[in-house]
Amino acid sequence: MEIRDCMSRNITAWFFYKNLTKKNEFIKKVIAIIIVAVLFVSLCSCGKPNSTSDSMYQIGLNALSAADDYIAGKISGEEANIKLKEYNRQATAQYEISKAEGFDKDFNISFAISMLSYAVFDSTRIITTGPMSEVKEKRDDLAKALGK
């Protein structure tokens, strides 16, 4: 009787182990699918935000690049100010066009470029120079509006 009991216990343990292994494989597959889905969603969120025109997005990227160059010391404050004033003018004109086309996020980018332009201007004034931290803050606001 002892051999039969031992065999039945082993057979029961073996079936339990097999079922447990199958459950673990299923759980592993579910976790893998969840991870893939999360990665897919996170990659889809990169790039141009929804409801943003291509033109405004490109203007925003150009302004962001000018701000980065100014912060890194690659261009002077005067050069950055001239570039950002031009991008601000372009963004304002583009917003008027894209407003009628339903690009809701264009206003956020246009506003962020405007605020960045003013921050750079303040940082380059002769009498009182504004802090570079404000330029960095406005640069980050523009990057956020661009989805960067």
| Full DSSP string of 55-110 | HHHHHHHHHHHHHHHHHHTSS-HHHHHHHHHHHHHHHHHHHHHHHHHT-TTHHHHH
Same domain, yes or no, for 66 and 104?
Answer: yes
Q: 67, 140 in Cβ contact below 8 A? A: no
Same domain flag for 69 and 135: yes
pLDDT at site 49: 63
Per-residue pLDDT of the chain (148 residues; tens, 9 = 90+): 445 555 555 566 556 556 656 666 766 665 656 655 555 555 455 555 667 788 889 998 999 999 999 888 898 888 988 999 999 999 988 888 887 777 777 888 888 898 888 888 887 775 555 567 788 888 888 888 888 8
Number of domains into which the chain is organized = 2
Task: Say how far apart CA 122 and CA 110 lie, in whole Å.
Answer: 19
Is the same domain home to 24 and 79?
A: no
Domain assignment of residue 37, given as a range: 1-46
Q: Do 38 and 90 reside in the same domain of the chain?
A: no
- State the pLDDT at residue 76: 86
Alpha-carbon distance of 83 to 100, in angstroms, equals 27
Identify whether residues 16 and 61 lie together within a single domain. Answer: no
Residues 117 and 142 in one domain: yes
Say yes or no: 92 and 22 in one domain: no
The verdict on 34 and 86 lying in the same domain is no
Same-domain status, 60 and 119: yes
Looking at the fold, whether 64 and 37 belong to one and the same domain comes out as no
pLDDT of residue 86: 93
DSSP helix/strand/coil, 129: coil
Task: Write down the pTM of the prediction.
Answer: 0.62
